[in-house]
Amino acid sequence: MPVVIEGQTYYRTAEVCRKLGISRNTLFRWLKKGVFSDIEYRDWRGWRLFTAAEVEKIKARASYISSVSHGKTNEKQQ
């Protein structure tokens, strides 16, 4: 269930992973590598929270990775 803090809706890590069909390990690996360097909001326990806009950024990355791994890029194969 999303959390509302000062009028802003945030999603927990498990919710983000479930919504996007990625594992926690994948999400944490991307965060550790700095793929999403601007995502750093944490709650009082230190758990990461994500805005809807951040979830969309992650979704775009996951979609891109999926399309590349399945050979569905727009680039012509040589």
Q: Per-residue pLDDT tens for 20-78? A: 999 999 999 988 888 877 777 888 898 999 999 999 989 988 887 766 665 655 544 44
36 belongs to a structural domain: yes
How many structural domains comprise the chain? 1
Closest CA to 9 of 59, 53, 61: 53
C-beta of residue 27 within 8 angstroms of C-beta of residue 35: no
40 belongs to a structural domain: yes
Token pair for 4? 């509302």
Residue-range definition of the domain harbouring residue 16: 3-69
Q: What is the pTM of this model?
A: 0.73
Residue 43 pLDDT: 86
The CATH number assigned to the domain holding 29 equals: 1.10.1660.10
Residue 70 pLDDT: 57
